[in-house]
A and B are shown apart, each in its own frame.
Chain A
């Protein structure tokens, strides 16, 4: 089950680390960095159901076309 309560230790520090990593990257390199980061985190999670819920939550938030919030698999 995807956990959505606040869990990141030192949120400002994490956010700053990502911004620092982006500094100096052009658009294409920045996209690849973000994708690498997502892949590394996805591998750490591993669990297919959690990853599916994470993708669905990301798709349902922000500018993506509206989609129902993910629910736990039966």
Chain B
């Protein structure tokens, strides 16, 4: 059974002028994720989208472990795992041969795998469903933001609907309106970066094929000489196929279904029958705006930054934007200093830079610019088949990794020596636990509020948390009412000994870590984490 796109009901304006505390412009992946995250924290929002359904076509398909953990916290993790295609393995081919294969998550002991493949429309439909069920998201389909007047205390929006227009006063405007963001363009913010002189045909194909759930990438295959091809499995017997076409290709001619069918048939051979689900021709860009926060208007996702698709960094990066902003905005609305929101820029701009850097490097490898660059690329591939040392140089996409917020103003630097583990700014890492004899996972206990993760062991008590800070104890031995790190993986991954404690932000990034801390030291780090330092 394939996906049936929902049609959401829309409603005409209820008044000529309305006001809302939080307005989210754009009901795509990032806007819906942000709305649900805010709702989970008890914050209401109005979400405006010009359409009345989910995204169509070839959008994000690879959901990284960190994103799955975020959706796990929002209550959707099980649906991703159940419906999605789990994969850990990739293969790279050069010419007629396999150059090498790689495993993305060689270690066990995580609730979520390295990647799950799932069409973006499923994620959006589930998010919309949960937003509606929360009772805190006012979903306004077919409400288009036609004009914005930015003010020091918010924004005044003119919203158009098929049933007339109205004005909406927003205290906070969260622009999740995509790569062509009308809000960004209306503000005249330069969206600068690099355009790649190459074109790609992206086809989503329905077929019954015996290929495994792996990421296959070909350089210069016999069925598409001189170019690259990517094959990736999605649910519902749909496969994503990406054909590099070169800059000279005519986008109109390449979209012709007969021509696409011939390309796919050459790849799959005569025995595989297939249908085309969706076909598009793209050229790629890597670019961003300089700052994501402009007073009370804040940009997230593709509206703020755009990458080429080879690292699965567009969707995963946008979800991390929402994860980063939602707790800060919720805290500010509850009285935290608005300066906390400046850290969104300080943390997510470098994260976007990292995504753009990786995505640019992958595209440079896949699309060599000169004959000499081409020779270097082919030399790497030739060596990689027989020599392991060349394999780290092969770049068919550096797949999304969570950002380490290394220069965050919210982090308290280590005051003591740590042999390893998770430094300030790093995202929390999962580990298996036993709780009252039952299997459990560490990340499930971290929630959406500041937490002190305190490690205990035989004869060594867990550090005390200051007043008002929730504490989660992980013990090296079995105790009543605590998580038992029976495998020792939590202690190993966090580099923690009994008596150590880690202060975690609501987005589960490390704010500070301590050996045998005093409650006062933890309280000082908590104040800094909330933007008070």
Residues of A at the B interface (CB closer than 8 Å) are 28, 31-36, 38-40, 43
User: Is there an interface contact between B390 and A32, defined as CB atoms closer than 8 Å?
Assistant: no
Residue B393 at the chain A interface, CB threshold 8 Å: yes
- Interface flags for B368-386 (1: CB within 8 Å of A; 0: not) read 0001100110111011000
Give the residue of B371, B372, B383 whose beta carbon is less than 8 angstroms from that of A39: B383
B390 lies within 8 A of A35 (CB): no
The answer to whether B389 and A43 have CB atoms under 8 Å apart is yes
Q: Is the CB of A39 within 8 A of B380?
A: yes
Bound-complex Cα distance A33 to B389 (A): 17
Residue numbers in B under 8 Å from A38 (CB-CB): 379
- Indicate if the CB atoms of A39 and B379 lie closer than 8 Å: yes
Contact B390 A28 (CB under 8 A): no
Measured CB to CB, the closest approach of chain A to B138, in angstroms, equals 52
Determine if B375 and A28 form an interchain contact, defined as CB atoms under 8 angstroms apart: yes
A36: contacting residue among B371, B372, B383, CB under 8 A = B383
Given contacts A43-B389, A43-B390, contact A35 B379 (CB under 8 A): yes
A-B contacts at CB below 8 angstroms, number: 29
**Chain A residues with CB under 8 A of B371:** 28, 31
Leading 6 A-B pairs by shortest Cβ distance:
A35-B379, A31-B375, A36-B379, A35-B376, A43-B389, A32-B375
- Docked Cα-Cα span, A33 to B378, in Å, equals 10
In the complex, the chain A residue whose C-beta lies closest to that of B392 is A43
Q: CB-CB < 8 A to A31: which residues of B?
A: 371-372, 375
B380 CB to nearest A CB, Å? 6
Give min CB distance, A32 to chain B, whole Å.
5
Residues of chain A with a CB closer than 8 A to B383's CB: 36, 39-40
Beyond A32-B375, A35-B379, 16 additional contacts (C-beta under 8 Å) are A28-B375, A31-B372, A31-B375, A32-B379, A33-B379, A35-B375, A35-B378, A35-B380, A36-B379, A36-B383, A38-B379, A39-B376, A39-B380, A39-B393, A40-B383, A43-B390
Q: Restricting to B51-65, which residues have a CB under 8 Å from any CB of A?
A: none
A31 to B375, CA, bound (A): 6
A62 to chain B, nearest CB (A): 14
What are the residues of chain B within 8 A of A35 when measuring CB–CB? 375-376, 378-380
CB-CB under 8 A from B379, the residues of chain A are 32-33, 35-36, 38-39
**CA of A28 to CA of B372 in the docked complex: distance in angstroms?**
8
**Of all chain B residues, which has the CB nearest A30?**
B375
Can you name the residue of chain A whose Cβ is closest to the Cβ of B390?
Answer: A39
Partner of B382, one of A28, A32, A34, A43: A32
In the assembled complex, how far is the CB of residue A64 from the closest CB belonging to chain B, in whole angstroms? 12
CB proximity of A22 to chain B, nearest CB, Å: 13
- A36 CA / B383 CA spacing, docked (Å): 7
Instruction: Quote the shortest CB–CB distance from B391 to chain A (angstroms).
Output: 11
Docked complex Cα distance between A39 and B389 (Å): 9
The minimal Cβ–Cβ distance linking A18 to chain B, given in whole angstroms, is 15
Chain A: minimal CB distance from B374 (Å) = 8
Shortest CB distance B387–A (Å): 8
27 pairs, CB–CB < 8 Å, chain A vs chain B: A28-B371, A28-B375, A31-B371, A31-B372, A31-B375, A32-B375, A32-B378, A32-B379, A32-B382, A33-B379, A34-B375, A35-B375, A35-B376, A35-B378, A35-B379, A36-B379, A36-B382, A36-B383, A38-B379, A39-B376, A39-B380, A39-B383, A39-B390, A39-B393, A40-B383, A43-B389, A43-B390
- Complex Cα distance, B379 from A35, in Å, reads 6
Complex CA distance for A52 and B379, rounded to whole angstroms: 20
**Which of A34, A36, A38, A43 has the largest count of B CB atoms less than 10 A from its CB?**
A36
In the complex, chain B residues 351-380 whose Cβ is within 8 Å of any chain A Cβ: 371-372, 375-376, 378-380
| Distance in Å: Cβ of B30 to nearest Cβ of chain A | 36
Q: A31 to B371, alpha carbons, bound, how many Å?
A: 9
Q: Closest Cβ of chain A: how far from B99's Cβ, in Å?
A: 14
Query: What residues of B have a CB within 8 angstroms of the CB of A28 in the complex?
Result: 371, 375
- Residues from chain A with a CB closer than 8 A to the CB of B393 are 39
- CB-CB under 8 A from B372, the residues of chain A are 31
In the assembly, what is the distance between CA of A48 and CA of B378, in Å?
22
State in angstroms the CA–CA spacing of A51 and B389 once bound together. Answer: 16
